[in-house]
Amino acid sequence: MRYSSLDQFLTDGNAALVKGPVAIVFAEDPVEVDTTLRHHLAAGFVQVLFLAPDGIDVPASLEPKIHWISHDLHAEDAVPKAVTRLIEAAPGTWLYYCYNAEYLFFPFCETRNVRELVAFHAEERREAMLSYVIDLYADDLGRFANAVSLEQAHLDRSGYYALGRPDMANHKYPKERQLDFFGGLRWRFEEHVPPPRRKIDRIALFKARPGLVLRPDFTLNDEELNTYACPWHNNITTTVMSFRTAKALRSNAGSKFDIHDFRWHNSVRFQWHSQQLMDLGLMEPGQWF
């Protein structure tokens, strides 16, 4: 069903938020909208919300399977504000959000669905899951001017690192079980990326509850939900495989003419399989075997 605004959806369509997990896909442009929606429908989300400005279309075959909501993504903090409103309307429901040309991967996702994932995570008394946003890029920018190609997608196999996340309210001491993660294109081409946007971690999958707020840096206002693990053992982490940074670097005038190739000696072909991500250390299965 199609809704003219988020307000209309929250009035007329909020029954879709009763049972999750629910995927929220924000479309900034028309690139790979079809594959993004199909990927998350196949992952096992009970409902998929599609928020996009007018003019970005969805294939007719997908319209009955999603909730299509007209939404302006150019306003300041449009995504965190929209997610926070959906949190308020969906207490107790697991929510996930991403942009177009982004694809959620989790351990063993080829044989298990996202409903099983959040059920196991909840059994471990966890209500949020850390995701690493791993940059994808086409291998030949001459053939793929916007750096997007599912068939020729590459990623960095190394070059990732973490720094302690300072607690500004506690003399800048590192926060417990929280780190800021870096790497990928935002690290290699950091001169083109503002410092607040260089992190690659995102709390992308979490359980909504009253008072919870998604902040502009993609963390939540409950610090425990921003941790990468519980105190007693490692937990599952996921990856969001994303062409978003590559698209931005190829479309922004300040970087487009400076970058002629995203490949380097640590580029590898993405196999579109969770085992590759676990082998590279980009995803943690925790206690989920």
Whichever domain contains 27, its CATH number is 3.40.50
Based on the fold, state whether residues 160 and 84 are members of the same structural domain: no
Cα 51 to chain centroid, rounded: 14
Residue 185 phi, psi (nearest 5): -65, -30
pLDDT digits (tens, 9 = 90+) for 143-163: 999 999 999 999 999 999 999
Burial (Cβ within 10 Å: 0-12, 13-18, ≥19) of residue 110: exposed
Q: What is the pLDDT of residue 232?
A: 85
What is the percent of the chain where pLDDT is above 70?
100
Based on the fold, state whether residues 114 and 81 are members of the same structural domain: no
Tokens, residue 179: 């780190």
Last residue of a domain, one of 100, 131, 153: 100
**253 vs 244, which has greater pLDDT?**
244
**What average pLDDT does this structure show over 272-288?**
95
Q: Can you tell me the distance from the alpha carbon of 158 to that of 187, in angstroms, rounded to the nearest whole number?
A: 11
What pairs with residue 283 in β-bridges?
Answer: none
Last residue of a domain, one of 52, 76, 100: 100
The yes-or-no verdict on residue 169 having pLDDT over 90 is: no
For CA atoms 58, 64, 66, 68, give the dihedral sign: positive
Based on the fold, state whether residues 120 and 259 are members of the same structural domain: yes
> What is the value of pTM for the model shown?
0.96
Based on the fold, state whether residues 77 and 116 are members of the same structural domain: no
Based on the fold, state whether residues 113 and 62 are members of the same structural domain: no
pLDDT digits (tens, 9 = 90+) for 209-222: 999 999 999 999 99
- DSSP H/E element including 186: helix 185-188
pLDDT digits (tens, 9 = 90+) for 93-146: 999 999 999 999 999 999 999 999 999 999 999 999 999 999 999 999 999 999
Based on the fold, state whether residues 29 and 160 are members of the same structural domain: no
Based on the fold, state whether residues 160 and 281 are members of the same structural domain: yes
- Per the structure, the count of domains in the chain is 2
Based on the fold, state whether residues 29 and 88 are members of the same structural domain: yes
Q: What is the pLDDT of residue 83?
A: 98
**What average pLDDT does this structure show over 49-78?**
94
Based on the fold, state whether residues 238 and 289 are members of the same structural domain: yes
Q: What is the pLDDT of residue 23?
A: 98
Last residue of a domain, one of 69, 100, 131: 100
Based on the fold, state whether residues 158 and 276 are members of the same structural domain: yes
Tokens, residue 153: 């997608």
Based on the fold, state whether residues 169 and 239 are members of the same structural domain: yes
